[in-house]
Chain A
Amino acid sequence: MSVVDGLKAAALLFVAAIFQVSIFSQARVLAGEPDLLLVMLVAVALLRGSMFGAVGGFFAGLIVDTATGAKLGLTSLVLTLAGYWIGRYGETTGRDRAHAPFLSVAVVTVLYSFGVLVLHFVLGEPAPAAPLARGLVPSIVLNLILTAPVYALVRRLLRPLDRGDYATEVQLLG
């Protein structure tokens, strides 16, 4: 992992965050909404691990919160945890699995949505579950549609690492 990788990942996440707040968040299909940033973060975290995932999620969340004038830290908190968790999955169980990006995107879409819902609820803001429930399945489908091209693009720019570069906690014998 190099500085160049970091810069590439940062550029990808920055562009995804800007496109998300300016374009994709308005693209409602059957009450669902594609989340380019989340899919991009999943791709980066799977290919570069939990550190990239967590740091990338944090700064991408800051960009979203700053651009939308929302409460700073809200999106950062959820994306940091999402990036870290997906990164760990990529470093361990999901390594070299073709279905890993799709499974990660589907699961993280659900967790991210509920994470944001819970944070809004904790902050005492309106947090109706009905719109989330209505839009959840369409959102998952839209994100899954985005997954293949986004993952292919990120994989092209950030080549998969050798096994030794992954920050696993389980030392492999033999």
Chain B
Amino acid sequence: MASRDRTARVAVLGTSVQRSRNERRPPRGRNAQLRRAVLVLLVLVALVLLTVSFRSPTSGALHTAQGYGATVLRPFQVAAERVARPFRDAYDYVTGLTGAKSENEKLKREVRQLRTQATANLAGARRAAELEALMRFENLRSFPKDYTPVNTTVISFPGTPFAQQVTIAAGANSGIRINTPVVTADGLIGRVTNVFPSTSQVTLLNDEESSVAAVDVTHGVSGIIRRGPRGTFILDRVAKEAKVAKGDVIVTRGTVDRRYPSYYPYGIQIGTVLSASPSDIATFLSVQVTPYARFDSLDAVAALVPKTPK
């Protein structure tokens, strides 16, 4: 065993230095202790925060404090988003230069208008045959009649590849509640899963845990929309014998049974069928859906707040 009084030899001088027995512990030792104590403290605090946040994600004192924090941070986020907007627009412009930009935009607008009209017609006609005809058809031309749109913008984007969630610049103060549907001009993008006074967290449709009851308005086939491969969706739970064709329009199914109300009103556009094929081994038809909304460039969105609180 080495002696505590061991000799340290300094190479340059070639002399030996005797370490004193009563040499005081250097302050660096205290620094190391302090440093470790701070690390342990911070890790413990983080774990406590994580535990509390995990146990009550949408209520409680910590949630309220987080809401106040989000309110304080919101102007900074909006400012950062505004600073970045010209650069983002320039990036979008450059990436969109594959065709004639202006003509492309004009055609897109026309397609969007026609698609909205066509979807409204199809969705309205379907429900008219089943329920109360023209009244619904009228309402489906714009937003669902029982809902008021709260127009807002996206101020933060998914922080990890695991959860597809964005933050929007409107919260409980604007009437938004948990499960409020959120749409863009193109179609449904998700629903609110956490609400703060002036911001809300929206879980997107392409999140692993998202699912929406949907209906193919062309053939009246119902199913569940889930995330699929490579930016597409899957219309799940469609019986093999059901008829679904490429190009069919998929919209939200809405509430069918009052005992089990849907978060989403009937008739919000989701996407079109990309392919539908049966498989020998699968129980259901394999229906791939291309979403209308572009989840990689969300900006202006509208939260659909029910006129009468549910």
* Interface residues in chain A, defined as those with a beta carbon under 8 Å from any beta carbon in chain B: 18-23, 25-26, 28, 31, 33, 50-51, 54-55, 58, 61-77, 80-81, 84, 116-117, 119-120, 123, 125-128, 131-132, 135, 167-169, 171, 173-174
Contacts and interface: CB of A to CB of B under 8 A. Distances in A.
B165 interface: yes
Interface string B42-54: 1101111111111
Interface string B269-310: 000000000000000000000000000110000000000000
Contacts of B47: 73, 77
Contacts of A74: 50, 53
B26 interface: yes
B46 A68 contact: no
A167 to B, nearest CB: 4
Interface stretch (B27-35, B142-150, B232-240): B27-35
Contact of A135 (B57, B70, B161): B161
Contacts of A65: 66
B39 to A, nearest CB: 5
A86 to B, nearest CB: 13
A126 B208 contact: yes
- Pick the most buried of B35, B70, B296: most chain A CB atoms within 10 A of its CB: B35
Contacts of A120: 160, 162-163
B97 interface: no
Contacts of B34: 51
B28 A54 contact: no
Nearest to B91: A27
Given A73-B46, A80-B39, A23 B81 contact: yes
Given A73-B50, A76-B49, A54 B201 contact: no
A35 B296 CA distance: 17
A168 B28 contact: yes
A123 to B, nearest CB: 6
Interface of B: 8, 10-12, 17, 26, 28-29, 31-32, 34-35, 38-39, 42-43, 45-54, 57, 62, 66, 69-70, 73, 76-77, 80-81, 84, 88, 155-163, 165, 167, 194, 196, 199-201, 207-209, 296-297
A71 B57 contact: yes
A29 B267 CA distance: 34
Given A26-B297, A131-B161, 8 more contacts: A20-B159, A25-B159, A54-B42, A65-B66, A69-B165, A70-B165, A73-B46, A128-B162
A171 B165 CA distance: 49
Given A54-B39, A72-B50, A21 B157 contact: yes
Nearest to A57: B42
A117 B28 CA distance: 36
A117 B160 CA distance: 9
Nearest to B11: A174
A126 B53 contact: no
Contacts of B53: 71-74
Contacts of A61: 46
Contact of A80 (B42, B52, B159, B297): B42
A84 B37 CA distance: 12
A127 B159 CA distance: 13
A18 B80 contact: yes
- Pick the most buried of B51, B66, B207: most chain A CB atoms within 10 A of its CB: B66
26 contacts: A18-B73, A20-B159, A21-B156, A22-B81, A25-B157, A28-B296, A54-B38, A55-B42, A66-B66, A66-B69, A67-B70, A67-B156, A68-B167, A68-B201, A69-B165, A69-B194, A69-B196, A69-B199, A72-B66, A74-B53, A116-B162, A120-B163, A126-B162, A126-B163, A126-B208, A135-B161
